[in-house]
Structure 1
Amino acid sequence: MVNDTMNTTYAVVFGSVMALGLPLNAVSLWILLRCHSIKSPSAVFMVNLAISDLLLVISLPMRIYFYATSSWPLSNMACIWITMLFRNNIRSSSIFITFISVDRLLAVVYPLRSRHLRISSNAWKAAALIWLFVLVVNIPESVYFSKFLNNNTEHSCFEFKERRKSYMSYFQSVLVLTMLAVNIVCTALVSWTLHRHLNDSAKVKNKVNVMLIFVTNLMMFTIFFLPLSLLIFFETWKTSPTPLICLASVNCCLDPLLYYFSFDGFWKRKEDVDTSLARE
């Protein structure tokens, strides 16, 4: 009875995330592509972040079905692929968010020296490498997970038990902690720069929005990514990770806040944004 109640709760949470995340990220992606020239590194990383969130949303219908019916109608491989889509979101999102923080750090602290680095072509190359890295990691992890799924995944998909901790558990935790540390350093340096050069910092448009970007990034890590990553690191799935998986999935609904804080006039027409980017 308790399991039925919990499964229903999980289905409701995932359903709510899908209902909010799909339109928010689809509209955000449309605005980023239509109204903003993809000439700044931050815009490039935000487009890829929105794509990552949409891939997460795509994986949710089958999770909803599994927890609503307590059954899995598809194959083991389908279960693994959908699990990978979710894990890929945490990894790719944490990296893209960190790259956004680093880009903002360079723009505020080293605006002149970083101009040759902060170009869209470099950002697209970095994004391609991130996706390649994420996909390569899926190969050994998929093989590992396949060992712990029962031949009949009807009641075990998303709730299978690992008998021992894998190196991938350490990898995800180390990745998230490393990205969090980079975000903390970026936040501290930007805050120090704006405080130290108070008069000069008036040249930085919307200083409050600049810091809100970093605060939002840190919130994403500490609330959504870190708890699940620490549980995976310290536990061998003895404690069900599903509640924290639900929590982690909510990040895709809040990423549009990052887009809003990152651009002056998020709803501006493309030609207006091109002018502001040219001045940056």
Structure 2
Amino acid sequence: MCTNTSNATCKVEILHGVAYSPLFFLGLLVNAAALCAFLAKRDCWTDTYIYMFNLAIADMALVLFLPFRIYDAFFCLPKTTLCTFLINIHFTNMYARILTTTVISVQRYLVIRFPLQARSWRKKKETAFGVCLVIWVFLVTTCAVFRKDNYPDKLWRCYERCKNHRLQKEFIVILLLLGFFIPLMIIVFCTSRIICILSKAENKSEEKKSIIGLVTANMIVFIVCYTPIHTGFLVNYFYIPPSHWQSLYIPAHVYFHVSEWIAATNCCFDSISYYFLLKQS
């Protein structure tokens, strides 16, 4: 167990595995229930259902591969092409969740800001399916283009890259800009506008209050879950020279593990949105 790491690093890895274990079981439970609920209502799907179903698929895909992460924390998986595949799966599904959440936020804003036009648009389901397809094609293509960045010779452990092998500049720009900062700005804008529009409405029904609470909660969860890991990407790339890495390794190692775990917890928080959607249908 952890034979190729120091005692301090080994303890971090064990805690890492312990933290992911309940996340796997809870995530499996809530996302399996969500998928079953969506499939049971497949005859009355709307564009919102399609977006939420896509989000549930991304959540479930991440959860199903967590056992590999847990096993690696305790027993250290060998550095093979399987590790490259697992890293790509983990982060592809994370960014699928980020981009789908962004699209859902835009869709909610457009429905509330332009209600008449939203009702008259007849190809909403086709558009939703096309948008989800574009998201997956973009992410898979990005992984294929930059696949060498996570080859076994660039890895220190199965799920961790060597710190002296930095990601390509173009790749880090895509991760930070398209994968986080732009979605964050869009979500903050859409959420603030939704709150402003519904707060000014003369008829403040319970449904409108619940929508305000839901979009606010979704924005807060998004910021809390995804800001730490992308802050880590930014700091690691621009401010930590490889020659100084050894003295900073343990705290940085802990930070990245914690931030990745926080990002992964979003697969359970999404169940809040599923609940309100199914409740209102």
Give the TM-score taking structure 2 as reference length: 0.85
CA contact 1:212–1:261 (8 Å) conserved in 2 = no
Give, as a single letter, the amino acid of the residue that structure 1 aligns with 2:137.
L
Q: Which residue of 148, 171, 174 corresponds with 1:171?
A: 174
CA positional deviation for 1:242? 1.7
> CA, structure 1 residues 78+117, in 2 after alignment: closer, same or farther (shift >3 Å)?
farther
> CA, structure 1 residues 50+105, in 2 after alignment: closer, same or farther (shift >3 Å)?
same
The equivalent residue for 2:190 is 186
Q: Which residue of 77, 93, 98 corresponds with 1:94?
A: 98
Q: Which residue of 145, 148, 154 corresponds with 1:149?
A: 154
The equivalent residue for 2:271 is 256
Cα-to-partner distance string for 1:32-79 (whole Å, 9 max, x where unaligned): 12136453211101101010011101221111111112x214x52110
CA contact 2:62–2:94 (8 Å) conserved in 1 = no
Q: Which residue of 120, 123, 128 corresponds with 2:128?
A: 123
Give the RMSD, CA atoms, in angstroms.
2.0
CA positional deviation for 1:197? 2.2
Give, as a single letter, the amino acid of the residue that structure 1 aligns with 2:130.
K
Between the aligned partners of 2:101 and 2:17, the Cα distance in structure 1 is 28
Between the aligned partners of 2:37 and 2:217, the Cα distance in structure 1 is 20
Between the aligned partners of 1:212 and 1:68, the Cα distance in structure 2 is 40
Q: Which residue of 102, 111, 117 corresponds with 2:115?
A: 111
Between the aligned partners of 2:145 and 2:177, the Cα distance in structure 1 is 17
Q: Which runs of 4+ in 1 moved over 4 A?
A: none
Give, as a single letter, the amino acid of the residue that structure 1 aligns with 2:209.
V
Q: Percent identity?
A: 23
Between the aligned partners of 1:147 and 1:16, the Cα distance in structure 2 is 29
Cα-to-partner distance string for 1:64-105 (whole Å, 9 max, x where unaligned): 111112x214x5211011111111122110111111111111
Unaligned ranges ≥5, structure 2? 1-6, 246-251
Unaligned ranges ≥5, structure 1? 266-272, 274-280
Matched, 1:81 2:81: no
CA positional deviation for 1:111? 0.7
> CA, structure 1 residues 3+38, in 2 after alignment: closer, same or farther (shift >3 Å)?
farther
CA positional deviation for 1:234? 2.0
Between the aligned partners of 2:22 and 2:183, the Cα distance in structure 1 is 28
Give, as a single letter, the amino acid of the residue that structure 2 aligns with 1:157.
C
Specify the SS of the correspondent of 2:202.
coil
Between the aligned partners of 1:210 and 1:263, the Cα distance in structure 2 is 14
CA positional deviation for 1:14? 1.2
Matched, 1:26 2:32: yes
> CA, structure 1 residues 217+141, in 2 after alignment: closer, same or farther (shift >3 Å)?
farther
CA contact 1:45–1:127 (8 Å) conserved in 2 = yes
Between the aligned partners of 1:247 and 1:231, the Cα distance in structure 2 is 12
The equivalent residue for 1:207 is 208
Give the TM-score taking structure 1 as reference length: 0.85
- Structure (1/2) with the larger helix percentage: 2
CA contact 1:59–1:82 (8 Å) conserved in 2 = yes
Between the aligned partners of 1:117 and 1:253, the Cα distance in structure 2 is 33
Between the aligned partners of 2:175 and 2:197, the Cα distance in structure 1 is 32
CA contact 2:149–2:167 (8 Å) conserved in 1 = no
CA positional deviation for 1:233? 1.8
Cα-to-partner distance string for 1:187-230 (whole Å, 9 max, x where unaligned): 1111111122223x54xx71122123312321232111121012
CA contact 2:87–2:150 (8 Å) conserved in 1 = no
